[in-house]
Amino acid sequence: MLLIGSAPGFARRYAFRARLFFRRNSLKLYYSNGACSLSPHIVLREAGLPFDLVRASTKTHALDDGTDYYTINPKGSVPLLELDNGERLSEGPAIVQYIADQVPAKNLAPANGTFARARLQEWLNFITSELHKGYSPLFNPKTPDEYKTIARENLAKRYAYVESQLAGKQYTMGDTFSVADAYLFTVSTWAKHVGVDLSGLPNVQAFMARMSARPAVIAALTAEGLIKAAA
Protein backbone atom coordinates (compact mmCIF):
# COMPACT_ATOMS: atom_id res chain seq x y z
CA MET A 1 0.00 0.00 0.00
CA LEU A 2 1.29 3.45 -0.92
CA LEU A 3 1.07 6.19 1.66
CA ILE A 4 -0.46 9.53 0.74
CA GLY A 5 2.25 11.69 -0.75
CA SER A 6 4.44 8.76 -1.69
CA ALA A 7 2.65 7.88 -4.91
CA PRO A 8 4.70 8.32 -8.08
CA GLY A 9 4.24 11.76 -9.58
CA PHE A 10 3.00 13.38 -6.34
CA ALA A 11 5.87 15.87 -6.30
CA ARG A 12 5.27 16.73 -9.95
CA ARG A 13 1.54 17.27 -9.36
CA TYR A 14 2.24 19.42 -6.31
CA ALA A 15 4.76 21.52 -8.23
CA PHE A 16 2.28 21.95 -11.08
CA ARG A 17 -0.44 23.17 -8.69
CA ALA A 18 2.05 25.56 -7.07
CA ARG A 19 3.01 27.00 -10.47
CA LEU A 20 -0.66 27.33 -11.42
CA PHE A 21 -1.44 29.12 -8.14
CA PHE A 22 1.41 31.58 -8.50
CA ARG A 23 0.55 32.36 -12.11
CA ARG A 24 -2.68 33.76 -10.70
CA ASN A 25 -1.01 35.17 -7.61
CA SER A 26 2.39 36.46 -8.71
CA LEU A 27 4.96 37.73 -6.25
CA LYS A 28 6.74 41.06 -6.19
CA LEU A 29 10.18 41.48 -4.63
CA TYR A 30 11.36 44.94 -3.64
CA TYR A 31 15.15 44.92 -3.81
CA SER A 32 18.28 47.01 -4.10
CA ASN A 33 21.20 45.94 -6.29
CA GLY A 34 23.64 43.77 -4.34
CA ALA A 35 21.93 44.33 -1.00
CA CYS A 36 20.67 41.60 1.33
CA SER A 37 17.61 41.33 -0.92
CA LEU A 38 19.83 39.31 -3.25
CA SER A 39 19.21 36.35 -0.93
CA PRO A 40 15.42 36.04 -1.52
CA HIS A 41 16.02 36.97 -5.16
CA ILE A 42 18.20 33.87 -5.50
CA VAL A 43 15.69 31.75 -3.59
CA LEU A 44 12.82 32.86 -5.84
CA ARG A 45 14.80 31.72 -8.86
CA GLU A 46 15.72 28.44 -7.17
CA ALA A 47 12.02 27.94 -6.40
CA GLY A 48 11.01 28.54 -10.00
CA LEU A 49 8.14 30.84 -9.00
CA PRO A 50 7.07 33.76 -11.20
CA PHE A 51 7.86 37.15 -9.70
CA ASP A 52 8.50 40.77 -10.54
CA LEU A 53 11.47 42.82 -9.35
CA VAL A 54 10.92 46.36 -8.11
CA ARG A 55 14.03 48.35 -7.30
CA ALA A 56 14.03 50.51 -4.17
CA SER A 57 17.07 52.71 -3.57
CA THR A 58 18.61 52.28 -0.13
CA LYS A 59 19.98 55.83 -0.41
CA THR A 60 16.93 57.81 -1.56
CA HIS A 61 14.30 55.34 -0.32
CA ALA A 62 12.43 55.81 -3.57
CA LEU A 63 11.41 53.51 -6.40
CA ASP A 64 12.59 54.11 -9.94
CA ASP A 65 9.27 55.83 -10.69
CA GLY A 66 9.76 58.23 -7.77
CA THR A 67 7.36 56.54 -5.35
CA ASP A 68 8.30 57.03 -1.71
CA TYR A 69 9.31 53.55 -0.58
CA TYR A 70 8.30 54.35 3.00
CA THR A 71 4.68 54.35 1.80
CA ILE A 72 5.16 50.70 0.85
CA ASN A 73 7.44 49.56 3.67
CA PRO A 74 7.52 51.82 6.76
CA LYS A 75 10.86 50.24 7.71
CA GLY A 76 12.38 51.64 4.54
CA SER A 77 14.55 48.55 4.11
CA VAL A 78 14.79 45.73 1.60
CA PRO A 79 13.85 43.00 0.99
CA LEU A 80 10.07 43.15 0.95
CA LEU A 81 7.91 40.44 -0.59
CA GLU A 82 4.45 41.39 -1.80
CA LEU A 83 1.75 38.86 -2.72
CA ASP A 84 -0.91 39.50 -5.33
CA ASN A 85 -3.49 39.82 -2.56
CA GLY A 86 -1.60 42.77 -1.07
CA GLU A 87 -0.03 40.94 1.86
CA ARG A 88 3.56 42.02 2.48
CA LEU A 89 6.37 40.29 4.32
CA SER A 90 9.66 41.86 5.39
CA GLU A 91 12.89 40.48 6.91
CA GLY A 92 14.99 38.21 4.73
CA PRO A 93 15.03 35.07 6.93
CA ALA A 94 11.22 35.11 7.12
CA ILE A 95 10.84 35.71 3.39
CA VAL A 96 13.15 32.91 2.24
CA GLN A 97 11.41 30.38 4.51
CA TYR A 98 7.99 31.46 3.21
CA ILE A 99 9.16 31.00 -0.38
CA ALA A 100 10.65 27.59 0.41
CA ASP A 101 7.43 26.41 2.01
CA GLN A 102 5.45 27.20 -1.15
CA VAL A 103 7.45 24.65 -3.13
CA PRO A 104 8.27 21.78 -0.73
CA ALA A 105 9.21 19.50 -3.62
CA LYS A 106 12.22 21.75 -4.27
CA ASN A 107 13.68 20.93 -0.82
CA LEU A 108 14.86 24.49 -0.23
CA ALA A 109 14.14 24.11 3.49
CA PRO A 110 13.39 21.13 5.75
CA ALA A 111 9.79 20.61 6.83
CA ASN A 112 8.44 22.76 9.65
CA GLY A 113 8.55 21.14 13.06
CA THR A 114 11.62 19.04 12.33
CA PHE A 115 15.02 19.33 14.00
CA ALA A 116 16.51 19.98 10.59
CA ARG A 117 14.27 23.05 10.22
CA ALA A 118 15.47 24.32 13.59
CA ARG A 119 19.04 23.82 12.39
CA LEU A 120 18.26 25.86 9.28
CA GLN A 121 16.82 28.62 11.46
CA GLU A 122 19.95 28.45 13.61
CA TRP A 123 22.00 29.21 10.50
CA LEU A 124 19.68 32.01 9.39
CA ASN A 125 19.81 33.62 12.84
CA PHE A 126 23.59 33.35 12.95
CA ILE A 127 23.98 34.90 9.51
CA THR A 128 21.60 37.76 10.23
CA SER A 129 22.94 38.65 13.67
CA GLU A 130 26.63 37.77 13.50
CA LEU A 131 27.54 38.30 9.84
CA HIS A 132 24.96 40.60 8.23
CA LYS A 133 24.88 43.05 11.13
CA GLY A 134 28.64 42.71 11.50
CA TYR A 135 29.08 44.31 8.09
CA SER A 136 26.84 47.30 8.86
CA PRO A 137 29.46 49.58 10.47
CA LEU A 138 31.83 48.94 7.56
CA PHE A 139 29.35 50.47 5.12
CA ASN A 140 28.68 53.51 7.31
CA PRO A 141 30.97 56.44 6.38
CA LYS A 142 30.50 57.87 9.86
CA THR A 143 32.01 54.82 11.56
CA PRO A 144 35.43 55.67 13.07
CA ASP A 145 38.35 53.77 11.54
CA GLU A 146 39.21 52.35 14.96
CA TYR A 147 35.81 50.71 15.22
CA LYS A 148 35.98 49.43 11.64
CA THR A 149 39.13 47.56 12.61
CA ILE A 150 37.26 45.95 15.49
CA ALA A 151 34.34 45.10 13.20
CA ARG A 152 36.67 43.35 10.76
CA GLU A 153 38.27 41.39 13.60
CA ASN A 154 34.84 40.30 14.83
CA LEU A 155 33.82 39.18 11.35
CA ALA A 156 37.08 37.23 11.02
CA LYS A 157 36.14 35.28 14.16
CA ARG A 158 32.65 34.58 12.83
CA TYR A 159 34.01 33.41 9.48
CA ALA A 160 36.44 31.10 11.29
CA TYR A 161 33.36 29.40 12.72
CA VAL A 162 31.74 29.20 9.27
CA GLU A 163 34.96 27.72 7.89
CA SER A 164 34.87 24.96 10.51
CA GLN A 165 31.20 24.20 9.87
CA LEU A 166 31.69 23.89 6.11
CA ALA A 167 34.44 21.28 6.51
CA GLY A 168 33.48 18.17 4.56
CA LYS A 169 30.22 19.73 3.33
CA GLN A 170 29.04 21.28 0.11
CA TYR A 171 26.58 23.64 1.79
CA THR A 172 25.63 24.83 5.27
CA MET A 173 23.13 22.01 5.81
CA GLY A 174 25.20 19.26 4.20
CA ASP A 175 25.36 18.36 0.54
CA THR A 176 22.01 19.92 -0.41
CA PHE A 177 21.39 23.59 -1.12
CA SER A 178 19.07 25.43 1.27
CA VAL A 179 17.86 29.00 1.70
CA ALA A 180 20.60 29.56 4.30
CA ASP A 181 23.19 29.19 1.55
CA ALA A 182 21.67 32.03 -0.46
CA TYR A 183 21.92 34.28 2.59
CA LEU A 184 25.48 33.27 3.47
CA PHE A 185 26.56 33.79 -0.13
CA THR A 186 24.90 37.21 -0.31
CA VAL A 187 26.54 38.72 2.77
CA SER A 188 29.89 37.17 1.89
CA THR A 189 29.94 38.95 -1.47
CA TRP A 190 30.37 42.17 0.51
CA ALA A 191 33.70 41.12 2.02
CA LYS A 192 35.90 42.33 -0.84
CA HIS A 193 34.24 45.75 -0.83
CA VAL A 194 34.97 46.53 2.83
CA GLY A 195 38.36 44.96 3.44
CA VAL A 196 37.27 41.65 4.98
CA ASP A 197 39.80 39.03 3.90
CA LEU A 198 38.35 35.58 3.23
CA SER A 199 41.29 34.30 1.20
CA GLY A 200 42.65 32.15 4.05
CA LEU A 201 39.41 30.20 4.36
CA PRO A 202 39.47 27.39 1.76
CA ASN A 203 36.07 25.95 2.72
CA VAL A 204 34.43 29.37 2.48
CA GLN A 205 36.18 30.02 -0.84
CA ALA A 206 34.99 26.68 -2.22
CA PHE A 207 31.46 27.42 -1.03
CA MET A 208 31.47 30.81 -2.75
CA ALA A 209 32.74 29.27 -5.99
CA ARG A 210 30.12 26.53 -5.80
CA MET A 211 27.35 29.05 -5.23
CA SER A 212 28.59 31.34 -7.99
CA ALA A 213 28.19 28.48 -10.48
CA ARG A 214 24.52 27.80 -9.66
CA PRO A 215 22.22 28.89 -12.53
CA ALA A 216 19.81 30.67 -10.17
CA VAL A 217 22.66 32.66 -8.64
CA ILE A 218 24.04 33.60 -12.05
CA ALA A 219 20.56 34.70 -13.17
CA ALA A 220 20.02 36.82 -10.05
CA LEU A 221 23.44 38.47 -10.24
CA THR A 222 22.90 39.21 -13.92
CA ALA A 223 19.43 40.66 -13.36
CA GLU A 224 20.81 43.01 -10.70
CA GLY A 225 23.68 44.11 -12.93
CA LEU A 226 26.30 42.61 -10.65
CA ILE A 227 27.81 40.49 -13.42
CA LYS A 228 27.61 40.77 -17.19
CA ALA A 229 25.21 38.58 -19.11
CA ALA A 230 26.83 35.70 -20.93
CA ALA A 231 27.43 36.41 -24.62
Helix 115-126 and helix 179-188, axial crossing angle in degrees, nearest 10 = 10
- Residue 230, pLDDT score: 77
The CATH 1.20.1050.10 domain(s) of the chain lie at: 115-214
In the chain, which residues fall in CATH 3.40.30.10?
A: 10-107
Instruction: Evaluate if pTM is beyond 0.85.
Output: yes
End-to-end CA distance of the chain: 52
Average pLDDT, the chain: 92
Strand order in the sheet with 27-31: 51-55, 27-31, 80-82, 88-90
Confidence of residue 39 (pLDDT cuts 50, 70, 90): very high
Helix (H, G, I), strand (E, B) or coil at 28: strand
Q: Give the mean pLDDT of 160-179.
A: 98
pLDDT > 50? residue 21: no
What pLDDT score was predicted for residue 148? Answer: 98
What is the model's pLDDT at position 5?
44
Would you state the pLDDT for residue 3? 42
The CATH T-level fold of domain 115-214 is Glutathione S-transferase Yfyf (Class Pi); Chain A, domain 2 (1.20.1050)
Tell me the mean pLDDT in the region 141-151.
98
Q: What is the pLDDT of residues 183-210, one digit of tens each?
A: 999 999 999 999 999 999 999 999 999 9
Contact between 47 and 99 under an 8 Å Cβ cutoff? The reply is yes
SS3 of residue 106 by DSSP: helix
Indicate the burial class of 71 (C-beta count within 10 angstroms; 0-12, 13-18, 19 or more): exposed
Write the pLDDT tens digit of every residue in 57-104.
Answer: 999 999 999 999 999 999 999 999 999 999 999 999 999 999 999 999
| Whether residue 18 has pLDDT greater than 70 | no
The pLDDT of residue 4 is: 40
Q: Which fold does the domain 10-107 belong to in CATH?
A: Glutaredoxin (3.40.30)
